[in-house]
Amino acid sequence: MQPLSEKAKGKQRAIELPDAGHVQSSDPVASRDLVIRFPEGTPDLRVVVTERDTLKDVKTMIRRERSPLKTKRLRFIHSGRLLADTTLVHSWLVELDEKRKQTSVEDDPAPPISATTWIHCSIGREIEDGEDEEGNEQQKAQLQPARGFDRLASVGFSEADIANFRQQFHSQSASNYLDTDFETEEEYDEHARALEEEWIDSLDSAGSSLSQNSSNNPAFLQGVLLGFFFPILPFFFFRNNHPPAVFWDNGGLI
C-alpha cells in the first residue's frame, strides 16, 4: 500500500477533526440541596436550587409543593437573621461553606461540609388582595384619576408649576383650615385636594372644560390660573430704570 503524502494526510486530518469534536464535554449544572424547616405541625421540605435561583424562587417552589401555604406570607431565617428574597441561594450557600472553613480551629481539622443546608421558614398571615409579599399595598395610581391641581398636568403645567400653584392657593385659603382638626396626614391631604377640586370645578361655570377634558382649552385655563395666582405680576413691568420714552407729534420716538 502506497504511503499517504503530506498533502493527503492534511486532508485526512481536516476530515477527522469534526468527528473528534463531536463528543462535547458539558459541565453539570451546579446545584445544592436545601431543606426548609417549618414551624411545628408542618413537615420539612427538600428542594434543589441552582446558581440562578433566589429565595423568591424557593418561595414559589414551596407554594407549588404545599398548597396550604399558597397564600401565606413566608419568611426565611438562618442563624437568627432574616434573609432577603433577592438572595442568590447557591452563592449564599457557597459563602457559608467558606466562612465555616475560615472559622475552623487550626488544631482541629474542619468537619466535612454537608451538601445539605437547613433554613427556617416562618409562616405568617394570609396575603390580602391588593397587598404584596411585604404587606404593602400595591400601587394603583395608574387606575386613579388625578385630583386637585394634579389635573393641571394635562394642560401642560410642570410639576414645579403645580407645586407653586398649590402653595399659593393654600396660603390664601388658610381660613379653611382653622376650624378643622386633622388626625392624620392623609386626612389633611384629602381636605386640601377637596378644596382644590372645588376651586377647579368653579371654573366650569365660567366656561372651563377642565372637568370633562382639560386639554380642549389649555390657553383659557392657563390665563385664569395666571390671573389668580399672580395678581402682582403686572407690577414687574413697572420696575425698570429706563427713562420714559418721548414721542414727537407725528408719532416718532426720540
Q: Are residues 120 and 161 in the same domain?
A: no
Q: Are residues 119 and 150 in the same domain?
A: no
Q: Is 24 inside a domain boundary?
A: no
pLDDT value for 65: 93
**Alpha-carbon Rg of the chain, whole angstroms?**
37
Contacts of 34 (CB under 8 A, 6+ apart): 46, 47, 48, 49, 58, 89, 93, 116, 117, 119
Rounded to the nearest 10 degrees, the angle between the axes of helix 185-204 and helix 159-172 is: 90
Q: Are residues 37 and 121 in the same domain?
A: yes
Q: Are residues 167 and 117 in the same domain?
A: no
Q: Are residues 88 and 154 in the same domain?
A: no
pLDDT value for 114: 56
State which residues form the domain around 187: 145-232
Contact criterion met (CB below 8 Å) for 32 and 17: no
pLDDT in tens, the chain (254 residues): 555 555 555 544 444 444 444 444 455 667 888 999 998 888 999 999 998 999 999 999 999 999 889 888 898 988 878 888 888 999 998 888 888 777 765 556 555 555 578 899 988 888 877 665 655 554 544 456 777 878 777 777 788 878 877 777 777 665 555 455 666 667 777 777 788 888 777 765 555 444 444 444 455 455 555 555 555 444 444 444 445 555 555 655 55
Q: Is 5 inside a domain boundary?
A: no
Strand order in the sheet with 31-37: 45-50, 31-37, 116-126, 72-78, 81-83
Q: Are residues 38 and 117 in the same domain?
A: yes
Q: Are residues 42 and 98 in the same domain?
A: yes
Residue 120, domain CATH? 3.10.20.90
Structural domains in the chain (count): 2
Residue 121 CB neighbour total at 10 angstroms: 22
Q: Is 72 inside a domain boundary?
A: yes
DSSP string, 146-187: P-GGGGGGGGT--HHHHHHHHHHHHHHTGGGTTT---SSHHH
Rounded to the nearest 10 degrees, the angle between the axes of helix 55-65 and helix 89-102 is: 120
